[in-house]
Every structure is written in structure tokens, then in C-alpha cells.
Homo-oligomer: A and B are copies of this chain.
Amino acid sequence: MSLADRVRFPEFLSRTMTAEQAAALIPHGVNVGMSGFTGAGYPKALPQAIAQHAKSEHAAGRPYKINVWTGASTAAEMDGALAEAGALGQRLPFNTDPTCRARINAGEIDFIDMHLSHVAQHAWFGFLGPMSVAVVEVLGVTEDGRLIPSTAVGNNKTWLEIADKVILEVNTKPPAKMEGMHDIYYGTAIPPRRVPIALTHADDRIGEPYLRVDPAKVVAVVETHKGDRDNVFAQPDANSNLIAASIIDFLAHEMKMGRLPKEMLPIQSGVGNVANAVLAGLLTGPFENLLGFTEVLQDGMLDLLRAGKMSRASATSISLSGSAYRDFEENIDFYRERIILRPQEISNHPELVRRLGVIAMNSMIEADIYGNINSTHVMGTGMMNGIGGSGDFARNGYLSFFVTPSVAKGGKISCIVPMCSHVDHTEHDTQIIVTEQGLADLRGLSPRKRAQVIIDRCAHPDFRPQLQDYFDRAQRQGALHTPHILGEALSWHQRFVETGDMRA
């Protein structure tokens, strides 16, 4: 399919140029909004051209860095290329690229970790400064100049509204028949003019299928023909399957006890192997007519849709492996009726997550014995990816699960620790912690009761005696609401930093 088939608005066709030409329109030092959410829908050509441009400028002794705001993570072609070229000044709100991560942790990039539901509004409020350019991947342009969104919506609506200039990457690779799949809500406003968001079911459509843009702002149109990152995951391993089974048993039990409605509630699932295993577990689980209300639609949710176990899924991004993507492409008519892609301020909106009663399932780096959660920092100092939407869902969901294998690095790291080295979700937002060892239901428990159940049910046997010993000794001194030995609370992490092993 040619660019002219995709861009049905003649005015834009006349602004077609190469990525290199378009990159030259982005000056040093500005804020740039880019599309992209979880390795989907990111611009494929511009970032590499910008990286080249940055290298040329640096070679000529001139500074060149830009601040890049996205929906969430992108790919090596974008964050990797820009980071490698030293072209990133500031980066928000999420990153999974290893090159970019290394530069963040080397102190070379100012990374700002934000709740994904906060990003659009903080930009719109003016809290992050003015946006010079938006670079947005789209699938095409309608006759009247509206944009057909790509595999991720993210913050594109907001970037197109607040940027001074817009560069469109028209990607002719994803199926044109995705047109109509998106639901872009234009009812948001800045306080005091906000109104209720009229969404009461996960699969309601409340917006329009296209992104709007002021045609006068579109300074360049660049053609690409390239798939998203191959978001492939390992097959669920034994630990992931144990975690998934615990969660499904728990949900079935809650339903039996009348604490979970018979209709079931919409599912949110974080990204990763464990999350995919839980979704795989639902394939053979007792629940029917499931709904998804999540930020990222992964392989596991596509499987549920295909099998008819899930009737519809709402997300802001489709992030698939190569093989799942081929299924999506081949059966686009089937999936278009069953998948709704929304802006991330809607997919993650506290108002909607609480109203719908979403069941939130997110992975973590570590939990402490009192139920505080570290989702972001390795040994308290190094950024892994970011908080993403986990806080949006954990705080506001009906039930909130945090999951991890009980140990990492071949058993050298316990994922249950005396005190988290960084806290992203506090004891107030954590309900259920699950490892392959078991499930700790923390609802209605005071901190010391939580500690005992977490140690008993979730800790790995190699670390359980050491945790129990810490907890016992902590209770022999000081205040007993949340007993701690402050001089020792972070010693497990310190030991790992010094010796490469948390074990005493």
C-alpha cells in the first residue's frame, strides 16, 4: 500500500519529506512529544535520523540534546538510538531500553518516573514546560485530515494538541483495517471545567476513532513501513505457572465467598512473563465473558479473546510477539470488534479504574515484610523501567495483586526483604502478594500480622529463617506498630552491593 493510499488528505501529501529533512526541523534543547507505548506505535524513522543529526552536531562541536516525552516505552530504534547518540536530555515517563537505562543510571539522562495517568494532564497544565514538536506515528490520514492512530494511542492526543509543530510518521505496515478500532475521548478539560467521564463498562466507546490535528501545525510527513518491536516472552516457567494458579484459585474462592461479583470484574495485567502466565491460566480457568481494562494488550490477552474467554479488551497499546502479531493482522476483522484502544489518560484513569472495579495484577522488584512494594529501583539506586501504570491500577482497583518469583539472580536475591530499598506502592495500596511459594492476603491485617503471613507464605525457604529472625529481633526493641531495626533494615541490599549475594 502506497503513502497516497494511506494519506487521503492532499495537503499533507505535499509535506512529505525524508526523515533526515524532518529531523532537521527539531532544534537543540526543546521538548519533543513522541508516540509509543510498550514497544508499540513509536516513530521508527525520525528518532534514528535525530540520532544521526545529534552525532553530526556533536562532531562539529555543537550541543544537541532534546527532551523526549512519550506514552511509555519504545524500542532500540528510538530510545536506544537516541541514548546511544547522547541526544537525550530529559526522558519521561517510562523506559525499557537497556542502552537508555544505562545512560539514565550513569547520570547522563534526566529520567522522570511518573504515573502514566498523570503525564498528559501535567503536560497540559504547563507543569513540564512547552512542547515544541510532536512526532507521532499514524496509520493514515482521512480525507478531511483526521489521523488514523497506530498500534498505541498513549499520549498522542495531548501531544498533537499542545505541540507547536507536528511531524507525522505514516507507517504503511500495520493493517489499514485497524481503522475504527480506536476510541479517542475529547471530553477532557483543565479544572475547573472537568465533567464526569461517561464510561461505565470496560468496553464502552465514548470517543471517536480518529486523532484530531490542526493541519497548519503539520510541518512534515515521513513514510515508514516497519513493524513494532517483537515483544516476545519466554514460555511461562514453573514459577510463573504456580503464581498464576494461586491467583486463579484465590479469585474463584473470593467469588464463592461473595466478595467478588459473579460477573467477574475487568482484568488489568502488567507486562512480563508472570503477567502472561496469569492470562494463560485464565484460558483454562473457570471464568467466562471476561473483560480487559488494561494499559497494554499482550499475547496472553489476545489468546483469551481468540478463545472466546474474554469478550472485549480495552487498552492503550497492542504489544505483541511476532507470531501473535501475524494472528492479529490475519484476523483483524475479528479483533477490531473486540479491542478498543484509548488514550492512556483514559485507560489508566483513577476515576474509571475505581468505578469499573478493575482487578489489578502487577509485577514488582521486591516487597518488604510489611507489604510496601518496590517496582522501579534495583538496590534502591538504579532505575529499572519506571512505575508505569501500576500505581494507577493498584491504588484504585477493586483488588490489587503484586507478583514476583521469591528469589532472583539464581537465589542470591530475596524478593521479600526486611525493608524495601525504594518504595513505589505503600502498605496502603497493597492487598495481595504472590510468589511461587504462595499467596499472602493482606486485607484487614495490621503490619505485624502482614509480616508474619508474608514471611510464611511468600518468602523463599532459603531466606525465611533470616526474615523471621529479623522480624523477631525487631519486635524486641522500639515501637511495635511497624517493628524495624533501622541499622539493619537495608543491610541485605548493602550485602548484595558488596558481595553479590544477599544471603548471610
Which residue numbers of A lie inside 8 Å of B, CB to CB? 90, 104-107, 110-115, 118, 122, 125-129, 190-192, 194-198, 200-201, 257-259, 261, 263, 265-266, 350-351, 354-357, 372, 377-383, 387, 391, 395-396, 398, 421-429, 431, 443-446, 448-449, 474-475, 478-484, 486-487, 489-491, 493-494, 497
CB distance from A152 to the nearest CB of B (A): 22
Residue of B nearest to A111 (CB): B446
> Does the CB pair A381–B481 fall under 8 Å?
yes
Q: What are 28 pairs between A and B in contact, CB < 8 Å?
A: A105-B479, A107-B448, A110-B446, A111-B481, A113-B427, A114-B428, A126-B257, A128-B443, A128-B444, A190-B261, A190-B357, A192-B266, A194-B355, A194-B357, A196-B198, A196-B355, A350-B351, A350-B354, A377-B482, A380-B482, A380-B489, A381-B481, A381-B484, A382-B481, A383-B479, A383-B482, A387-B426, A487-B494
Residue of B nearest to A352 (CB): B351
Chain B hits for A421, CB < 8 A: 484, 486
Within the oligomer, what is the number of copies of this chain? 2
> Does the CB pair A426–B428 fall under 8 Å?
no
> Does the CB pair A484–B380 fall under 8 Å?
yes
| Shortest Cβ-Cβ A-B pairs, 6 listed | A191-B357, A382-B479, A107-B480, A196-B196, A110-B446, A423-B423
Residue of B nearest to A122 (CB): B443
A497 to B200, CA, bound (A): 51
Chain B hits for A424, CB < 8 A: 426, 428
A111 to B446, CA, bound (A): 6
Which of B105, B261, B391 is A481 in contact with, Cβ under 8 Å?
B105
Q: A127-B259, A379-B478, A444-B112 are in contact. Are A192 and B356 (CB under 8 A)?
A: yes
CB distance from A32 to the nearest CB of B (A): 15
> Does the CB pair B398–A478 fall under 8 Å?
no
Given A191-B265, A387-B426, 14 other A-B residues pairs in contact with their CB atoms under 8 A: A115-B395, A118-B428, A126-B259, A191-B356, A192-B261, A192-B263, A350-B354, A372-B423, A379-B479, A380-B482, A383-B482, A421-B486, A424-B428, A489-B490
Chain B hits for A90, CB < 8 A: 444, 446
CB distance from A115 to the nearest CB of B (A): 5
> Does the CB pair B449–A110 fall under 8 Å?
yes
A482 to B263, CA, bound (A): 44
Q: A351-B354, A479-B382 are in contact. Are A125 and B398 (CB under 8 A)?
A: yes
A426 to B420, CA, bound (A): 13
CB distance from A75 to the nearest CB of B (A): 21
CB distance from A224 to the nearest CB of B (A): 30
Chain B hits for A426, CB < 8 A: 387, 391, 423-426
A445 to B113, CA, bound (A): 10
> Does the CB pair B490–A478 fall under 8 Å?
no
Chain B hits for A190, CB < 8 A: 261, 357
A474 to B147, CA, bound (A): 48
> Does the CB pair A482–B355 fall under 8 Å?
no
> Does the CB pair B486–A490 fall under 8 Å?
yes
A486 to B502, CA, bound (A): 13
Q: A129-B444, A381-B478, A479-B383 are in contact. Are A195 and B355 (CB under 8 A)?
A: yes
Chain B hits for A200, CB < 8 A: 194-196
Q: A357-B190, A357-B191, A479-B105 are in contact. Are A428 and B387 (CB under 8 A)?
A: yes
> Does the CB pair A196–B194 fall under 8 Å?
no
> Does the CB pair A106–B480 fall under 8 Å?
yes
Chain B hits for A111, CB < 8 A: 446, 481
A377 to B423, CA, bound (A): 15
Chain B hits for A357, CB < 8 A: 190-192, 194
Chain B hits for A112, CB < 8 A: 444-446
> Does the CB pair B479–A391 fall under 8 Å?
no
Residue of B nearest to A118 (CB): B428
CB distance from A202 to the nearest CB of B (A): 9
Chain B hits for A118, CB < 8 A: 428
Chain B hits for A483, CB < 8 A: 381
Q: A350-B396, A426-B426, A487-B494 are in contact. Are A479 and B378 (CB under 8 A)?
A: yes
Chain B hits for A114, CB < 8 A: 428
